[in-house]
Amino acid sequence: MTSTFAVKPGAVVAWQGKKVTITALVDTRFVLVKPFGSASIEKVTIASLMRLESLEEAKLQSKADALPDLMMIDDQTWSALETRFEAIKPLMDLKTRSRKDVEARAEKVEKGTSTLYKWLDRMEQTGDLSALQRKPRKDKGVSRFSKELEDYIADLIDEWKKPSKEEKRSSIAKAVLDIQTACFIKGFEPQPHVLSIRKRLYERAHEQIVERSLGRKRAKAKLQQSFGAFAEPKWPLQHTAIDHTPMDIMVVDQKTRRSIGRPYISVVQDILTRMVLGFWISLDPPSSHSVGMALAHAILPKETWCAKHKTINSWDVYGVPAMIQLDNAREFHGKLLDRACQQYNINLRYRRKGEADDSPHIERLIGTAMKMLHDLDGTTFSNTLERGSYDSEGNAIMTLDELETYVTRWIVDVYHQREHSSLEISPSEKYTQALIGDEDTRGIGLPERIADEKRLRLDFTPEFERTVTRNGIKIDNLQYGHAVLSAYVRSKHKQVFRRDPRYLNIIYFWSDRDKTYYPIPLKRARSDINIWQLNEARNHLKSKRLRITEENLFRAYDQLNQLAKAARDETAKVKKESKVDRKNADKLRIAEERLRETGIKPAATSSTSGGIPRVGQQGAASNTDAPVRRERRIFETVMPKLDDLNKED
């Protein structure tokens, strides 16, 4: 199953259950298609197109050929996949490829020509790095060496990795010869082959070998994938950047309306067009997970997203970026992120430490975005000096969902549409110009669309390993269950699950047998809850020293909602009474000023005399009756006189 499908003239795709050919690109939203067997031309949206394999009459691939879960591939196999991809990448970049090119590359990487053709065919059919896997052998994972020989070679390699200060590490060729000689002296039969020793040496001492070949400084740069400033890109998605920042605003819970903290935002930007490709907002600090979720949002089409947030303009950017630049912090080097990016052929490049000038465009974008938040209630401003005595937490009114909508509309309807100072046109116009072209510029065409959007989201979603029991599985005290798990109850191995932190009511189970994901709901239907609401309920239970169970968590969250509702109602009541008091006081003040202008003195009960009217025979009224007294004074003493003046006028 291919990960993407082309959207360009001549491509054969599916549309409304029919096989059609794309004849021309209209803009970034529409194309012209011609159904097979028909002379008519249809103008259709790009979002309505699907890959050809989705048609019922198309040949379905067997489940055995489906892509595996990325995290189920061991590190050794993944390293081999990277090596194979590096071998064929120069050939994939060629616009025209001849057999001589393949033969020359095969000789350079010391592989057979037919092998490179096979790898090229797999990559061009699927577009996925995991497709380069070798079919598993029956004896996969079983070494042909005895355990004693394997341990002996491993010890010799470890000694070579860390020479003493007085000694110098020998060359790789000499290390292989020394190990082979030592095995011969030790009396191992049969003798290990030179290639077998070299293979184990490269696997066990990769960093030391790279360091010996390139030098310590260059090896460190290669292993860390650290890059400095980049040349100006020539087409969209060639060079993108991602950055993170705490947002200058406080948010509230959707139900309790209590402040729950200051969120973070991760933004992905295309450097050539300055278009925002995607973003991710959460209450968790930036991590490899936030990078992955922002990337998934950037890659996928956004027609549904715009419909959800009701934007005026369309957000037509989508596609897999060739390279993305991000922070060099340790939390952005997770295995999940690395493998997901390699799976979709995304080149990760890390900024130089302490070099803020490596990504000036996205820094400027984020600065502009934060300034527009300073006009909202609950803003924290840029610093404490600007904020002064303003109560950001007490004035917060926006939920995460509402803030997400606000940011979406600002990006799509404001930032993308107004002229950019560096481009001298809007980012939206620049993007359309680069893809579709104009009178002076020839466009490069639309990027390929992701065929399986669900799979891409899950590839960037955090995973968990859990053992399946007869009661299902438990994650963060939440119990999940489904009939599909029954076949894995007696399994000795932990199973892989993935979960979106925004929607905890459903998780996804990776079935290695069926090569697919299954949605697993909560065993008991509950109201929607996210990870931050769950944490709030957990903290509430801890403060009360109560047991943390699923039932107690949802009960605690419901109690918090009820308390917040009562607090809101009481606050609204007090505000309403205060508003009535102020309104009546204003009426009295205006009426008294009007009477003075006409030469009539207000009654002795007015505020000018300082007296307090008496109510019946009960003496002076209490302070709690102040609103009633003011209202009576207005309508019984001052207002009649004002009415008489109005009649005379």
The confidence band for 231, taking pLDDT boundaries of 50, 70 and 90, is low
- How large is the average pLDDT for residues 186-208? 82
Spatial distance between the Cα atoms of 296 and 614, rounded to a whole number of angstroms: 72
Look up residue 90 and give its DSSP letter: H
**Higher pLDDT among residues 582 and 350, named by residue:** 350
pLDDT at 378 > cutoff 80: yes
- Of 553, 533, 569, 566, which Cα lies nearest the Cα of 261? 533
Looking up tokens 């012209």, which residue turns up? Answer: 32
Q: What is the pLDDT of residues 84-127, one digit of tens each?
A: 888 888 888 787 888 888 889 888 888 888 888 888 888 877 66
More confident residue, 207 or 311: 311
- Residue 369 pLDDT greater than 60, yes or no: yes
pLDDT of amino acid 429: 92
pLDDT in the model for residue 646:
55
Residue 81, pLDDT score: 80
| pLDDT computed for residue 164 by the predictor | 59
Strands 251-252 and 259-261: antiparallel
**What residue type is 354 in one-letter code?**
G
Kind and range of the H or E element at 559?
helix 550-597
State how far the alpha carbon of 178 is from the alpha carbons of 194, 244, 407, 467, in Å: 11, 50, 63, 46
**What confidence category does residue 414 fall into, taking pLDDT thresholds of 50, 70 and 90?**
very high
Q: Say if residues 332 and 298 touch (Cβ distance below 8 Å).
A: no
CA distance 506 to 499: 7
Q: What is the largest CA-CA distance in the chain?
A: 127
Q: Are 514 and 484 contacting, i.e. CB atoms less than 8 angstroms apart?
A: no
The three-state secondary structure class of 540 is helix
Per-residue confidence (pLDDT) for residue 9, from 0 to 100:
87
- Indicate the helix (H) or strand (E) that contains 435: helix 427-436
Query: Is pLDDT at 223 greater than 60 in this prediction?
Result: no
Integer angstrom CA distances of residue 406 from 107, 310, 368, 399, 414 = 56, 10, 14, 10, 11
Q: How confident is the model at residue 281, as a pLDDT?
A: 93
Lowest mean per-residue pLDDT among 439-443, 543-547, 592-596: 592-596
Among 55-69, 324-338, 484-498, the minimum mean pLDDT is found in: 55-69
Q: What is the C-alpha separation between 515 and 203, in angstroms, rounded?
A: 29
Q: 434-438, 490-494, 605-609: which range is least confident on average?
A: 605-609
Strands 495-498 and 463-466: antiparallel
Question: What's the rounded Cα separation, in Å, for the pair 148 and 625?
Answer: 96
CA distance 86 to 109: 9
Cα angle: 56, vertex 61, 66; to 5 degrees? 130
Instruction: Tell me how crowded residue 51 is: count the other CB atoms within 10 A of its CB.
Output: 22
Lowest average pLDDT, out of 454-463, 522-531, 568-577, goes to 568-577
Which residue has better confidence, 558 or 409? Answer: 409
> H-helix or E-strand containing 31?
strand 30-35
- Mean pLDDT over the full length of the chain: 78
Report the percentage of the chain scoring pLDDT > 90: 15
Mean pLDDT throughout 137-164?
74
Look at residue 525 in the predicted model and tell me its pLDDT: 78
Residue with tokens 């740069």: 221
The answer to whether the bond into 286 is cis (omega within 30° of 0) is: no
| pLDDT above 70 as % of the chain | 78
Going by pLDDT thresholds of 50, 70 and 90, the confidence category of residue 270 is: very high
Structure tokens at 170: 């020998």
Q: Does residue 379 or residue 584 have the better pLDDT? A: 379
* Confidence category of residue 273, pLDDT binned at 50, 70, 90: very high
Q: Determine contact, residues 180/199, Cβ cutoff 8 Å.
A: no
pLDDT for residue 430 = 92
Question: b/e map of 333-348 (b: 16 or more CB within 10 Å)?
Answer: bbebbbbbbbbbbbeb
**Burial label, 113 (beta-carbon count in 10 A; 0-12, 13-18, 19+):** middle
pLDDT tier at 162, thresholds 50, 70, 90: confident
The tokens describing 556, both together, are 């605690």
Q: What pLDDT does 59 receive?
A: 44
* pLDDT at position 467: 87
pLDDT at 635 over 80: no
Q: pLDDT band at residue 218, thresholds of 50, 70 and 90? A: low
Q: Which pLDDT belongs to residue 617?
A: 43
Average pLDDT over residues 240-252: 91
Measured distance CA(156)–CA(519) in Å, rounded: 48
Confidence of residue 237 (pLDDT cuts 50, 70, 90): very high
- Please enumerate in sequence order all residues whose Cβ is within 8 A of that of 15, keeping only pairs 6 or more positions apart, or say none: 33, 35, 42, 44, 48, 49, 50
Chain centre distance of CA 113: 40
Evaluate if residue 470 carries a pLDDT over 80: yes
Q: Contact, 275 vs 428, CB < 8 A?
A: yes
Least confident stretch, 218-222, 413-417, 522-526, 536-540:
218-222
487-526 pLDDT per residue, tens: 888 777 888 888 888 788 888 988 877 778 888 898 887 8
Q: Which range (340-354, 374-388, 426-440) has the least confidence?
A: 340-354
324 or 164: whose pLDDT is higher? 324
Computed over its alpha carbons, how large is the radius of gyration of the chain? 34
Please tell me the predicted confidence (pLDDT) of residue 494: 86
CA-angle at 242, arms to 239 and 247, nearest 5°: 150
Predicted pLDDT of residue 632: 55
pLDDT at 64 over 60: no
Q: Which residue has the higher pLDDT, 571 or 140?
A: 571
318 falls in which pLDDT band (50, 70, 90)?
very high
282 vs 208, more confident: 282
Contact 149, 192 (CB under 8 A): yes
Find out whether 306 and 315 touch, Cβ atoms under 8 Å: yes
CA 585 to each of CA 120, 612, 628: distance values in angstroms, whole numbers, following the listed order: 83, 15, 11
Could you give the count of Cα atoms lying within 13 Å of 278 in the half-sphere of its Cβ?
A: 24
DSSP class of residue 622 equals P
Give the 3-state secondary structure of residue 574: helix
Query: Is residue 308 very low, low, confident or very high in pLDDT (cuts 50, 70, 90)?
Result: very high
> Is residue 278 scored above 90 in pLDDT?
yes
Query: Is residue 299 scored above 60 in pLDDT?
Result: yes
d(CA 101, CA 88): 11
Give the residue carrying structure tokens 């010890």.
Answer: 155
Confidence of residue 249 (pLDDT cuts 50, 70, 90): very high
Nearest alpha carbon to residue 51 among 452, 347, 380: 452
Distance in angstroms (rounded) separating the CA atoms of residues 196 and 143: 11
